[in-house]
Structure 1
Amino acid sequence: MNLLEKTEIQQLLEGHTPQNRKRREDALLIMSAALTAVDPAQAVLNRLAYNPASAVLTVGEYAYDLNYYKRVFVIGAGKAAAPMAGALAQLLGERVTDGAINVKYAHLGGAPVGSKIAITEAGHPILDMNGVAGTKRIAKLLKATTPEDLVIAVMSGGGSALLELPVEGVTLEDMQALTAQLLKTGATINQLNTIRKHLSQVKGGNLARMAYPATLVSLILSDVVGSPLDVIASGATVPDTSTFAQAWNALEQFGLTAEDKGFKPLVPEQILKHLQLGVSGAIPETPKPTDSLFANTRNIIVGDNRVAAQAAAQKAGELGYNTLVLSTFVEGEAREVARVLAGVAKEIASYDSPIPKPACLLAGGETTVTIRGDGKGGRNQELALAAALALEGLENVLCLPLATDGSDGPTDAAGALVDGHSVSKARAIGLDALTYLAQNDSYHFFQRSTELLKTEPTNTNVNDLTLFLVW
């Protein structure tokens, strides 16, 4: 993906000196390289090989003789599921017997054309009826499998919301209410998924339980810091190491098990009841690593944040920058992370340390936002606004935080591109950056200051990537 080819992004280059315009173009080229490196279809094809003559499918270090299997199913869910499934359809052709995937609305780029793989568009980050209906379709396929079947799952970020079949007694509305409450608290993706896995018939290894006794190969594009298999897309095909007790404790941590002013719990009572039954041992745990159902299951990471960060660093080097990937494990409050990263950029600007100018500093991961106001925005936009405040008055520094899926929070923006003049320029048109930050209203701030980065859906998702250029 070349971000410079997008018309709406051109506004980020207008009104700047030739030198500043060039640096902004560099930033967009560097991020373009990162997105290209984690293109979902290519990520799948990079790890798979198929020989039609021998009918052998090689997946990483594993080989599967398709002549042995009577049927091949393709299932999955996530923002990148369409191009991942499209790559499989392209590679295997008529060998695919049937399939079903769930994708986020408007994330159909690269979808399998003319194949037998059915696609359901559904809601994200809040589960909707389409997501449940699509998951029921997947479950119906899996429940009919035998030891002579091969199931290939394509899983990516967003799969936690898009692939869901609540446990008996818990409704779609209950899950929507729970997710909305957790998103407000600033819960980490790990905490969110631990809770959802224990309220689901498909998460936390339960999808693998459905597929058993078929052979299962899961191709995973990671959107979780460090790529822990049991967390990505809520570990639907992976042994679950979390427990009902941890799920309950996470709710307790955010005060969601207490009553609201003495009237009712902050999350639906049926959810609390189910988790309490699990804690007491009255209902079984999610499948654990010792479960024999995982004997014929393989889970393979095909792309993650580190791949994107390394590609960005390589491109930056080609453009003449000294590069440093500071970390791909960045977590924490977006505004606090912004101040820390801006501090490193200031160190480079002042002392040529830890790398000399011209420098490209990269950090990957996924921050969180604790909602304090009633504004609109996402973690990358909030990080950009806090960084703009930290960089105010500095020459020759810019910052670009990017949601690699092209959708930052509940907005149509992927991030924002700011520099040391962003705050003063906004002030000149009546915008106070501190007020907007206090209201969590970064989207409207950057919309008015024309610094929003809009990529449209990228059809990939490997967390966030933040770039600082210093020259």
Structure 2
Amino acid sequence: MSLPYKAETFIEEILNLLKPADVFKNIFKFYHNQIFIEGSVIDVPRQVHLFGLGKAASFEVEAMKNLINGSKLKNKLGMCVSYTKREHIVEDEEIAQLEGDHPVITEDNIGQTKKFISMLQKANKDDVLIFLLSGGGSALLEMPVDGMSFKQLQAKHQELLNSGLNINQMNAARKAISKVKNGGLLNFIPCDNIVQLVTCDIPNEEIADVSSGPLINKERADKRVQSVLTQSAGTLLKRLTSGHKNARIDAIYDCTLEEMCQSMLGSLPTKEEVVLSGGEGTLKVLSDAGLGGRSTHFVLHFAHMLYNDPDNRDIKILSLGTDGTDGPTDAAGAYIDYELYDREEALEHLQKQDSYNYFKKKGSLIKTGPTMNNLMDVRILWRE
């Protein structure tokens, strides 16, 4: 089936707002030998290099490259390098693009990390590095601490993925076993001037935890780095609501999925309203779980709670991961209304954590492909 018109319209709106080029245009000004950013002036005596890490890396490097090439600084553009999740690259021969596995770390990621570092080390001390960071880098960029084998590292990563911990807690544990997290990547970068642009996928907007903070150590600041928050769930939701007269932001969630659903039951839309929320609800994954991710599981779980009450059966539920990926699936999320809800079937799939296959059967999976961004999940409720 095709999704209802209103659901398709919301999805298209979200995807249009996720394009990085429009965001960067409002932050940077480029001149012959200088970069202006948020009131600061950075001299560019030699070259400016673009390095991206995370699910949005290739899209962001391409957007920034195009901006510089259209400016008076184009003759100083040096290396353009991205390290991203597989199948998240762009068609651009001017960018050296590395691909790694996500969310489960593999030995190939270790090799790609070494290549990424070797390219960073080619920069000169007097060069300017623009480092474009988005979520997903915790699995991609990895080099274990001395004494830890790859198998031990992989087992720890998998344990954390299934733990039900929130992203801040998970990344604190990841930092403790890595040479390139928690500011560790700075040990391999020769540049004195580093501008880090952060696309934040952390509910509390703690940029030191995005991709486990390769350039930020919370306890020890490095004066070479100027970090700028360019996008977050909060900025996305504000832009979404500005286009709808009766839209309301509920919350940016950072709790268990069950707690999130209980809270959302107390913030349902009126007849005229559209209610939006961001962030993520954590879920402990069963050892024998079926197929699904946070977004599809939320939609089915919340529908199972919501549609018990006949007064709520006109509410439509939509949720999607803004990176275009929902867990280990090819979907970004799902849509449901009461006509697509089958109580017994829903319960069976929830118990198996197999929400993807429920929505596959109903024909209401949301598939966007890579979106150029990563700002956690967006959920939308409305009555119709």
The match for 1:46 among 12, 16, 26 is 26
SS at the partner of 2:156? helix
Per-residue Cα deviation, 1:341-400 (whole angstroms, up to 9, x for no partner): 13422xx4xxxxxxx421101111011111235211101111100111122243321010
Structure 2 match to 1:176: 154
The match for 1:148 among 126, 134, 140 is 126
Query: Contact 1:204–1:240 at 8 Å: present in 2 too?
Result: yes
Question: Which residues of 2 match residues 367-378 of structure 1 at below 5 A?
Answer: 367-372=281-286, 373-378=288-293
The one-letter amino acid of 1:302's match is T
Query: Contact 1:208–1:216 at 8 Å: present in 2 too?
Result: no
Question: Which residues of 2 match residues 2-41 of structure 1 at below 5 A?
Answer: 11-13=1-3, 24-41=4-21
Structure 2 match to 1:333: 256
Per-residue Cα deviation, 1:191-237 (whole angstroms, up to 9, x for no partner): 22111112222110112232255211111111111211110111111
For residues 174 and 95 of structure 1, the distance between their equivalents in structure 2, rounded to whole angstroms, comes to 43
The match for 1:108 among 85, 89, 98 is 89
What is the deviation of 1:182? 1.3
After superposition, the CA RMSD in angstroms is 2.0
For residues 12 and 311 of structure 1, the distance between their equivalents in structure 2, rounded to whole angstroms, comes to 26
Distance 1:456 1:309, change over 3 A: same
Query: Contact 1:404–1:460 at 8 Å: present in 2 too?
Result: yes
| Alignment pair present for 1:360 and 2:274 | yes
Per-residue Cα deviation, 1:71-114 (whole angstroms, up to 9, x for no partner): 322223101000111122212344222243211011013x6x24
Query: Contact 2:325–2:332 at 8 Å: present in 1 too?
Result: yes
The match for 1:440 among 347, 350, 353 is 353
Q: Which 5+ residue runs of structure 2 have no aligned equivalent?
A: 70-74
Q: Which 5+ residue runs of structure 1 have no aligned equivalent?
A: 1-10, 14-23, 242-287, 349-355
Question: Which residues of 2 match residues 240-259 of structure 1 at below 5 A?
Answer: 240-241=218-219
The one-letter amino acid of 2:327's match is G
For residues 33 and 25 of structure 2, the distance between their equivalents in structure 1, rounded to whole angstroms, comes to 16
Query: Contact 1:189–1:224 at 8 Å: present in 2 too?
Result: yes
Distance 1:170 1:41, change over 3 A: farther
Aligned-pair identity (%):
28
The one-letter amino acid of 1:58's match is F
Structure 2 match to 1:275: none
What is the deviation of 1:309? 0.9
SS at the partner of 2:23? helix
| Alignment pair present for 1:323 and 2:243 | no
Runs of 4+, deviation exceeding 6 Å: none
Query: Contact 2:61–2:80 at 8 Å: present in 1 too?
Result: no
The one-letter amino acid of 1:382's match is H
Structure 2 match to 1:246: none
The one-letter amino acid of 1:325's match is I
The one-letter amino acid of 2:279's match is G
Moved more, 180-189 or 406-415: 180-189
What is the deviation of 1:466? 0.6
Query: Max radius of gyration: which structure?
Result: 1
Per-residue Cα deviation, 1:44-85 (whole angstroms, up to 9, x for no partner): 33322212xx3322222222222x2x2322223101000111
Query: Contact 2:200–2:374 at 8 Å: present in 1 too?
Result: yes
Per-residue Cα deviation, 1:165-184 (whole angstroms, up to 9, x for no partner): 22223233322211111111
| Alignment pair present for 1:74 and 2:13 | no
Distance 1:108 1:237, change over 3 A: same
| Alignment pair present for 1:386 and 2:301 | yes
Moved more, 388-397 or 446-455: 388-397
Query: Contact 2:129–2:191 at 8 Å: present in 1 too?
Result: no
Q: Would you tell me which structure has more helix in proportion to its own residues?
A: 1
Aligned residues: 375
Query: Contact 1:417–1:452 at 8 Å: present in 2 too?
Result: yes
For residues 77 and 225 of structure 1, the distance between their equivalents in structure 2, rounded to whole angstroms, comes to 19
SS at the partner of 1:152? strand
Structure 2 match to 1:230: 208
Distance 1:453 1:184, change over 3 A: same
